[in-house]
């Protein structure tokens, strides 16, 4: 049986965080380790202590036996485009759930998710594929979180919130119970969302206002 290994997709600041969280998962549960990365810039990790093999750009990617890809791209639209391109070439994807996170047994996580330290996914929540949930963020009961969305740190989606695909939440954003957020919306850092947000809308401030 071929031993599995992980290649990171992207090598920016979020990717460097993911490398550290993967090391924790390897120690805690024997998860496959990240051993290389894909990026348009082969020198993305120069000057840091990470010793990962550069495996080319995402455009030149060809699957290797035992290889899983872990997507560490924060921008939702870019993440969606890259995943679609990689899937066309037969890529297989890994998820990362940090051992300090709390995932309810009735919650559902899609393929390729990244759940960072001390995050919570509560009862009967549904997290779509390739969602990133950053440190200390909370997904309340019965939340539906659309694919490719990204939550920065300390985001709070309270019970029954529904979020469309490719949404972005800045640090400390909060959404009140039952509110719907349309696809591709952007919620600014520290925003308090009290009512429905239309697709492709940018919201900021507390209470949040339309930009």
For 28-37, the pLDDT digits (tens) are 999 999 999 9
Residue 144: enclosing H or E segment and its boundaries? strand 144-145
- Under DSSP, the state recorded for 22 is H
| Domain termination residue (choose one: 50, 77, 94) | 94
| Domain termination residue (choose one: 73, 94, 115) | 94
**What range defines the domain where residue 78 resides?**
5-94
Q: With 70 as the cut, is the pLDDT of residue 1 above it? A: no
For 18-29, the pLDDT digits (tens) are 999 999 999 999
In a domain, 27, yes or no: yes
In a domain, 211, yes or no: no
User: Is residue 90 domain-shared with residue 12, that is, in the same domain?
Assistant: yes
CB distance 102 to 78 below 8 Å: no
CB distance 37 to 45 below 8 Å: yes
CATH number of the CATH domain containing 131? 2.160.10.10
User: Is residue 131 domain-shared with residue 198, that is, in the same domain?
Assistant: yes
User: Is residue 58 domain-shared with residue 18, that is, in the same domain?
Assistant: yes
Percentage of the chain exceeding pLDDT 70: 97
CATH number of the CATH domain containing 64? 3.40.50.20
User: Is residue 105 domain-shared with residue 126, that is, in the same domain?
Assistant: yes
User: Is residue 127 domain-shared with residue 190, that is, in the same domain?
Assistant: yes
Q: How many domains does the chain have?
A: 2
Percentage of the chain exceeding pLDDT 90: 95
User: Is residue 77 domain-shared with residue 104, that is, in the same domain?
Assistant: no
For 145-176, the pLDDT digits (tens) are 999 999 999 999 999 999 999 999 999 999 99
Mean pLDDT score across all residues of the chain: 96
| Domain termination residue (choose one: 38, 65, 94) | 94
User: Is residue 106 domain-shared with residue 123, that is, in the same domain?
Assistant: yes
Tell me whether strands 202-204 and 209-210 are parallel, antiparallel or unpaired: antiparallel
User: Is residue 207 reached through a cis peptide bond, with omega within 30 degrees of 0 on the bond before it?
Assistant: yes
For residues 73 and 154, give the distance between their C-alpha atoms in angstroms, rounded to a whole number.
18
For 52-69, the pLDDT digits (tens) are 999 999 999 999 999 999
- The pTM of the full predicted model, rounded to 2 decimals, is 0.96
User: Is residue 78 domain-shared with residue 136, that is, in the same domain?
Assistant: no
User: Is residue 59 domain-shared with residue 119, that is, in the same domain?
Assistant: no
In a domain, 62, yes or no: yes
């Amino acid at each position: 049986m071929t031993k599995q290994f992980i290649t990171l997709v992207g090598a920016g600041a979020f990717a460097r965080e993911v490398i550290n969280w993967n090391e924790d998962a390897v120690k805690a549960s024997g998860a496959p380790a990240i051993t290389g990365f894909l990026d348009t810039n082969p020198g993305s990790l120069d000057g840091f202590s990470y010793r990962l093999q550069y495996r080319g750009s995402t455009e030149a990617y060809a699957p290797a036996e035992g290889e899983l890809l872990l997507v560490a791209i924060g921008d939702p639209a870019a993440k969606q485009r890259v995943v679609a391109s990689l899937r066309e070439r037969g890529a297989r994807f890994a998820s990362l759930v940090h051992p300090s996170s709390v995932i309810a047994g009735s919650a559902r996580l899609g393929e390729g998710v990244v759940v960072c330290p001390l995050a919570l996914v509560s009862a009967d929540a549904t997290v779509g594929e390739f969602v990133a949930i950053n440190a200390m963020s909370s997904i309340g009961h019965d939340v539906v979180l659309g694919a490719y969305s990204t939550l920065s740190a300390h985001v709070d989606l309270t019970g029954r919130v529904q979020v469309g695909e490719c949404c972005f939440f800045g640090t400390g954003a909060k959404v009140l119970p039952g509110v719907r957020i349309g696809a591709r919306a952007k919620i600014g850092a520290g925003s308090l969302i009290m009512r429905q947000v239309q697709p492709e809308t940018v919201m900021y401030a507390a209470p949040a206002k339309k930009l």
